[in-house]
Amino acid sequence: MNPTIKDVAQKANVSIATVSRVLNNLSGYSDKTKQKVNEAIKEIGYQPNAIARGLINKRTQTIGVMFPSVSGAFSSDLLKGIEELANDRNYSVMVCNTDQDGKRTLKYLQLLREKQVDGIIFSSEVLKKEYYDVLETMRIPVVLVSSQTEFAKVPYVKVDDYRAAFDAILYLISKGHRKIAMISGNPSDLIAGSPRAEGYKHALEANGIPFDSRYLAYGDFLYESGSIAMETLLEQAPDVTAVFAASDEMAIGALSTVIKNGLSVPEDISIMGYDDLGLAKMVIPPLTTVRQPLYDIGKIAVEKLIQMIETGESVNSQIVDHTIVERQTVRSLT
């Protein structure tokens, strides 16, 4: 027969209640007692029964995480922070790939409902009314990551995308650049597309540089689109001296296109990204970029979600600071 919690208690010479408190990370025991219980668990091979535990505390200790794409470095960096803190708090993570246009979102919400997850982290996608209605019927908390909403019950964790893009352009202007192009996300994307493009335009205007539509190209935040957009910019704005891309992946795609066209970075064209993914310091030359602390954002989101799960109380949204990371892809013209 499989060992039980009673067997652990007998082996460690403590009460069943103490073993339960150790298993659920509750207080009320010494470090020595915790060590005894963990040694007993290991020695007799006890496996906590998640189903039974869920019946007691009405929880499955599982969090659903929804991404439009799980293959990109952006999602990977976020997920590291999410999984690390969730694991520290004894929660498992179930990751769902909703696809770029969210066509699988409702399907996965139903799946997470059937799996009885305790809460959901909803990343990089607009929380539509139809999604919110489903979440309301599920009666579980949700936290948005790199997104925001007007629904009062739903907190979010993100950087200020408009301000971050504005500051990126100010940085390029401070380096003497005035012919500055941008590779933006889709303008219909209200989360990371239009706010970053607006930050770009307004930073130019604030510094007496008229906006020129030839200097604005569009992509989908991924490498290939950045490469294609850079080809477009080289054709329609050959005098550009600096390019700000709305994601590191697009910036790296742009960098590769510049080099393929016999130009060099930053001597001929300066390039600046957005995110500060691990890839940013691996490319040659290393990418200057706007850092949004994705790992930290993931941890903050889980902390807020677990607080909502375990207390039933609402939490506040949080705007996380961005920073500019200087590397070697931006040249000073002054």
Q: Mean pLDDT across the stretch 21-47? A: 87
Tell me phi and psi for residue 16, to 5 degrees.
-60, -35
Note the pLDDT of residue 25: 73
Q: Mean pLDDT across the stretch 242-269? A: 97
50 falls in which pLDDT band (50, 70, 90)? Answer: low
In tens, the pLDDT along 275-312 reads: 999 889 999 999 999 999 999 999 999 999 999 998 88
Q: Mean pLDDT across the stretch 52-67? A: 74
Q: Mean pLDDT across the stretch 165-175? A: 98
Note the pLDDT of residue 4: 86
Note the pLDDT of residue 239: 96
Give me the chain's average pLDDT, please: 90
Q: Mean pLDDT across the stretch 219-234? A: 95
Note the pLDDT of residue 2: 78
In tens, the pLDDT along 309-331 reads: 988 899 999 999 999 999 999 99
In tens, the pLDDT along 185-213 reads: 988 888 888 999 999 999 999 999 999 99
Note the pLDDT of residue 148: 82
Note the pLDDT of residue 71: 58
67 falls in which pLDDT band (50, 70, 90)? Answer: confident
pLDDT at 171 over 80: yes
Note the pLDDT of residue 123: 86
In tens, the pLDDT along 78-137 reads: 999 999 999 998 899 999 888 756 568 888 888 898 888 999 999 877 788 888 888 888
